[in-house]
Amino acid sequence: MKPSSARGANPAPLQAKEFEWIARFLYERTGISLNDGKQAMVMGRLDKRLRARGLSSYAEYFSLLGRPGYEDETIAAIDLLTTNETYFFREPKHFEFLKNTVFAQYAKQRGIRVWSAASSSGEEAYTIAMTLAEYFPGDSWEVVGTDISTRVLEKAKRALYPMSAAEKIPIAMLKKYCLKGREEYEDFFLLENTIRAKVKFSSANLIEALPDLGLFEVIFLRNVMIYFDMETKQKLLQRLYEKLRPGGYFFVSHSETLNGLNSPLQMVSPSIYRRAPA
């Protein structure tokens, strides 16, 4: 199929069959279910990609995805359709629970590891890191952040954020762990090097075989499973359970629950679960 010569022209609206195709494609690649009502989201996020390639219909664009020679475009499309909103200290009660309950359990242990399993652009992982840094010596903990989107992982690795993103960071932590930019970076802040050095980011598709990440005392998987059907949730939960040490904690969003799933995890409080100690 040859690209249209009308580069930059307005693409035709997304048709029902086109939406069905991209929904099936995304589900097969990521496990995410695109429900009816998401057509506008698909068009809004992919419109620039059609314009960049001079295509006049979504059918033309979708015909490229998954084809040899278009691997970068396929990754770009998946990135755009799977990126979720995130910010520092989102759902702050989780971090209070870490400080008041979880950290006390591991006070004498070295090598505390926490996994931000859908880290997006890094705000959650760095929030966890700042919280850990307040409690544990610098050489006794590590945060691992993974995401399917290579685009947001690059942003996470830079650790450079607009000053508006600092709104929910406690003032003491902001002064201690965030460096205000100068000159062309005046409206940005950078996470301090001792924090950046303790957070490792890598690419991972949660519905496929996971890389060798090791085991964790705490796993965060927030605002992700709401996009999956029950079968995918069940398989994912088992996959992550195997990465959680006995006695470890598993966090989901306050809007999520493991109800209806066959899970060995025990609920500690809404949105917080624990693997039974050995």
Active site residues: 45, 147
- Residue 202 and residue 239: Cα distance in Å, rounded? 17
Parallel, antiparallel or unpaired: strands 188-191 and 160-162: antiparallel
Please, is 262 exposed, middle or buried when counting C-beta atoms within 10 Å of its C-beta (0-12, 13-18, 19+)? Answer: exposed
Cα Dmax for the chain: 66
Q: Which residues of 213-242 are buried (b: 16+ CB within 10 A; e: fewer)?
A: eeebbbbbbbbbbebbeeebbbebbeebbe
